[in-house]
Chain A
């Protein structure tokens, strides 16, 4: 509730219960509003997509966390969900999609293939998408269960809250 400082001997008495406003810091307010309106871009390439769909549908209901609005244009998205194996042939496209997203933006590596390449230790697969773009949250699993995904999403919300107004861009240049 609002805090009214006494302003000298003639300050009027104020009934605090009637005040319908609150104060906060701008950082905290921005963080709070951002973390509950995550527009996700699902970049789905493989079997992890089934688990992503399970998470997004009504049983697990990702909308409870304010992330129920997938956008299929990177221009309108806040969080890039990279779901499934990324091949070297696909890597430039992923990088382009990331570059097209507007700041602030975050990246979730969904499933072990996006985290490290998983068991695809071969000529065709990117050994972790963090070799191409910066990643905020890693959700391992093959595929991760929806509970695991929600846990990762809540950790991302914590991160967004703490970030406040600071830019989400890494200080160093992303490897290209």
Chain B
């Protein structure tokens, strides 16, 4: 059974909009089920590598109900297959489960998403900024962060 069929039968509620494009599988996952689906994909489907975990800010996009989407880029070394999972996260409730317990590689990636986009990951062992300094206010890659805003530790402001 293909990964696509397995996912759509086992997680018919949680995983939606599965499609194949450019030989790769794409789909949306409910953010409440993200840890369960990820653990299944790793332990039972062989997706042993978390290639990337990042975030997209869809501010002012009419067709998107939720502002953020977390993107999980998984790779199976054995099958040489990739899968791109997306989880919708709203601005008011910018919280999602951490997958650090599934792939330890998620630790720093989730810290980066927290630093740049301000998404909190519940269950993360040490969610603090990874690139910017603690004194930094706001989250720099959010679309509503003014690009000319400067927050130097020393030296002149702006």
CA separation between A13 and B151, bound complex, in Å? 74
CA separation between A126 and B154, bound complex, in Å? 10
Given contacts A123-B140, A124-B132, contact A92 B154 (CB under 8 A): yes
Q: Among B140, B154, B156, which residue has its beta carbon within 8 angstroms of that of A124?
A: B140
Q: How many residues of B are in contact with the other chain, CB < 8 A? A: 15
Asked whether any CB of chain A lies closer than 8 Å to the CB of B61, the reply is: no
B residues 142-158 in Cβ contact with A at 8 Å: 145, 147-156
CA separation between A88 and B149, bound complex, in Å? 13
A-contact bits for B100-135, CB 8 A (1 contact / 0 none): 000000000000000000000000000000011100
Q: Among B140, B153, B155, B156, which residue has its beta carbon within 8 angstroms of that of A89?
A: B153
Tell me if A91 and B153 are in contact (CB < 8 A): yes
Chain A interface residue number, banded: 10 to 19
Tell me if A88 and B152 are in contact (CB < 8 A): yes
Q: Among A91, A121, A122, A123, which residue has its beta carbon within 8 angstroms of that of B154?
A: A91
Cross-chain pair count, CB within 8 angstroms: 41
CA separation between A28 and B59, bound complex, in Å? 64
Instruction: List B contacts of A91 (CB < 8 A).
Output: 152-155
Tell me if A176 and B147 are in contact (CB < 8 A): no
Instruction: List A contacts of B153 (CB < 8 A).
Output: 88-89, 91-92
Tell me if A123 and B133 are in contact (CB < 8 A): no
CA separation between A126 and B140, bound complex, in Å? 15
CA separation between A176 and B149, bound complex, in Å? 19
Tell me if B145 and A95 are in contact (CB < 8 A): no
Contacts A/B (CB < 8 Å), 23 sampled: A88-B150, A88-B151, A88-B152, A89-B131, A89-B133, A91-B152, A91-B153, A91-B154, A92-B153, A122-B147, A123-B140, A123-B147, A123-B149, A123-B150, A123-B151, A124-B131, A124-B132, A127-B150, A131-B155, A132-B155, A175-B155, A175-B156, A176-B155
